[in-house]
Structure 1
């Protein structure tokens, strides 16, 4: 099996949006976008990546959050249309989890905006094991060949300038039940979430942009000898090991699919993971966009201790 993974689309669309909807966290977010991000996040890069994946031999696609910039309806519409048209895949073959930008405000959570547009991309093969966490029912599970693809939501509304995530005890308890299910135990787990499970060494940076209950999540996967955890959030291609009592999991992050950057590890790209028939992970590679020609060059995903 081959899984393609990309993240952090940061699709921006303000079509038909009233200025009154910026009288909240969006005001600081929009200012930051115009001052720092507007010239480097390019939706045509996302389209090029989706088209390249459609041309490649891929069995499943994982998208690990921050689909939108400000969690506005036109952004969700544009992102869904882009994925459907460029990928051309049935939603059962595409798994999407939300990022902090997709729950940018409490209104986005209250109206379940992510689920309204991306519900078909989170439909679970074991729906009875999910719990309602406000934005929808998570975790979801897709049983695909030798793999159990498990989607977690680490996205929660935060104060301005805070991008930290949290899974929460209810979702973690459901995650434990999923991992104990016979159909999951016989497969290799591939866990999707937006925030990295390994926090930075700085306590302040963890509080501002890390995963609040990362240690609790790590405790739940200690029984697995192998598997894969995929994330975004860092806008950086990176892979790190996660030791367990039984062996070692691979933790791999994707950069922003829309990001224009001179640094090799940050330029827009997608990752590809190759599994054998027993669910053992083989090759891990990144396909990096060459923007002028809209072609891709293949490279390794850099190893790092932390980001």
Structure 2
């Protein structure tokens, strides 16, 4: 089974960003777009990645959040078009979770904007565990577990949290026989490994990373796929029976001189019979030719 991993699309559109809708946290986001982010995040990179994924004929695509910039409806429409038309897959073959930019304001969070636009990609195969998060999608040798770490924060704060209710549901998911018989693949925006400095963790980390790691302690093997850092990174979470590979994808739209950060996507190969993780690789965009080449994922 081959799985492609996209993250941090940051598709840009300031349509609808009328002054009244900028008098909140969006003001800092708008200034970032106006003077910095728009110069390095390019939609053509995401479109090229979608075309390459389609050419590769993968079995499933996962998208780990920050698909928008300001959580405006027009941005969600852009993402919806890309997912529905460019990837060439059915909703059963695509799983998505939100990032902090997708719940940028309390209005977008309370209105469940991400869920309303992408509900087909959040469908669960375990209805006995109420959603929308975590959702579980049983696909051959794997159990895809979608989590939301996205909560609205004050300006300049991009930290995430799973929170007690979702952590409790995750515990029930991990003990479910359909999940225990498969290789779990957790999808979330924020990584479980926090920055070494507390101040940085408070600004952009995952507040309940330790609680999540405790729940995963009994897992023999699995993947924890994330974004947020805009860089390729591979870390290991030791467990009582083995380990979990925690792998971050770079931003799919980011043009950067570093191989670690240049736009692209990750690929994971899972053995159909045993569920063993056979390969973890990454594809980097050449922005001139719009082609991709394999690059290593740095160990964290």
Which bin holds the TM-score, normalised by the shorter protein? over 0.9
Mapped partners of 2:143, 2:270: distance in 1: 12
Contact 2:259 2:295 in 1 (8 A): no
Contact 2:95 2:122 in 1 (8 A): yes
Equivalent residues in 2 for 1:106-117, closer than 5 Å: 106-117=106-117
Q: CA deviation at 1:41?
A: 0.3
Structure 2 match to 1:134: none
Structure 2 match to 1:283: 279
CA deviation profile, 1:209-231 (whole Å, cap 9, x unmatched): 00000000000011111100000
Tell whether 2:245 aligns with 1:250: yes
Tell whether 2:284 aligns with 1:301: no
Structure 2 match to 1:102: 102
Structure 1 match to 2:171: 176
2:292 aligned counterpart, secondary structure: strand
Contact 2:194 2:205 in 1 (8 A): yes
Return the TM-score normalized by structure 1: 0.96
2:78 aligned counterpart, secondary structure: helix
Return the TM-score normalized by structure 2: 0.98
Mapped partners of 2:245, 2:215: distance in 1: 15
1:30 aligned counterpart, secondary structure: helix
Equivalent residues in 2 for 1:87-236, closer than 5 Å: 87-131=87-131, 137-236=132-231
Contact 2:8 2:250 in 1 (8 A): yes
Structure 1 match to 2:71: 71
Q: CA deviation at 1:17?
A: 3.8
CA deviation profile, 1:23-82 (whole Å, cap 9, x unmatched): 000001111222221100001100100110001031110100000000000000001101
Contact 1:284 1:300 in 2 (8 A): no
How many residue pairs match? The answer is 299
Unaligned runs of 5+ in 2: none
Unaligned runs of 5+ in 1: 132-136
1:227 aligned counterpart, secondary structure: strand
Runs ≥4 in structure 1, deviation > 6 angstroms? Answer: none
